[in-house]
Amino acid sequence: MRNSLREERFSIETIIVNILIILLMSTGVIFSLVTALGLIRLPDVYTRTHAASKSSTLGVLCVLTATFIHFWLIEGIFNTQMVIAIAFLFITAPVGGHLIGRAAYMSGIKVADETVRDDMADALKEHKKKLMDKKTTEQ
Amino acid sequence: MMMFYWISLIIVSIGFTGLLFRLVKGPSIADRVVALDAIGISLVSIVALLSLIIETEFFLEIILLLSILSFIGTIAFAKFLERGEIFDRNNNR
């Protein structure tokens, strides 16, 4: 299987696989560029978290899938670690973004002036009231 | 095909410098942590493209390692920002 497609460079299978790789890779690269643009241009931490978690996850996912397909179908190497890495990144990158956003809100960073509504403030107020009620009943 | 990989690497590197700009400039610590997280993810795609260009599969092990390290670093920074300590034993929030 190894180097099976490599010797016949211009067979129809190689061309199809290369077209697939080019499509996936260009999508991933464009999304990586959009991530940088969003991190530079957006106004506050929360919107930047949005840019950094969603689009960068999709971008790196497409690039890794293209690399995996290249090594699998052209070089003949089925790399299992790539599959694990793709699944891991798909799960953990949005979780990291969510945690940073929550930590930023808890440490008291202001939202941008253009923000229309802030549901987290109401939720926090309710939570504090519940905690106070609990304390008074315990005493 | 090699030309395409080179162009992709250059574009991803341009995005990388944009993230570095936010890392240096960012007004608050949370901005810098967001930029650091995105840099870790962008580094993974740079390693994947480099392994395509050099035509070796030995770089692919770095990808899993880098993604795990970047996630753990982000979690540690988020916990540190939220409460000022990374390991806490207080379960009453």
A37 or B87, which is more confident: A37
The domain total for chain A is: 1
pLDDT average, residue stretch A103-116: 84
The tens digit of pLDDT for each residue in B48-65 reads: 999 999 988 888 889 999
**Which pLDDT belongs to residue A67?**
93
Please, how many CA atoms are within 13 Å of residue B61, restricted to the half-sphere of its CB? Answer: 2
Task: Give SS3 for B32.
Answer: helix
Residue A21: predicted pLDDT? 94
| Pairwise CB contact (< 8 Å): A85 & B44 | yes
Residues contacting A12, CB < 8 A, separation 6+: none
Give the B window 38-77 contacts with A, CB below 8 Å.
38, 41-42, 44-45, 48-49, 51-52, 55, 57, 60-61, 63-64, 67-68, 70-71, 74-75, 77
pLDDT mean across residues, chain A: 86
The answer as to whether A120 is a domain residue is: no
Q: State the smallest CA–CA distance between residue A32 and chain B in angstroms.
A: 6
- State which residues form the domain around B59: 9-82
Does A48 reside within a domain?
A: yes
What pLDDT digit, counting tens, does each position of A71-92 carry?
A: 999 888 888 989 999 999 999 9
Give the residue numbers spanning the domain of A105: 4-111
The span from the first CA to the last CA of chain A, in angstroms, equals 74
ipTM of predicted complex: 0.87
pTM of the model: 0.85
| The pLDDT value given to residue B84 | 66
pLDDT of residue A1: 45
| Number of domains chain B contains | 1
Rg of chain A (C-alpha set): 23
- Which pLDDT score, from 0 to 100, does residue A7 have? 56
Could you give the 3-state DSSP secondary structure of residue B71? helix
Tokens of A51: 């840019």
A27 close to A35: Cβ distance less than 8 angstroms: no
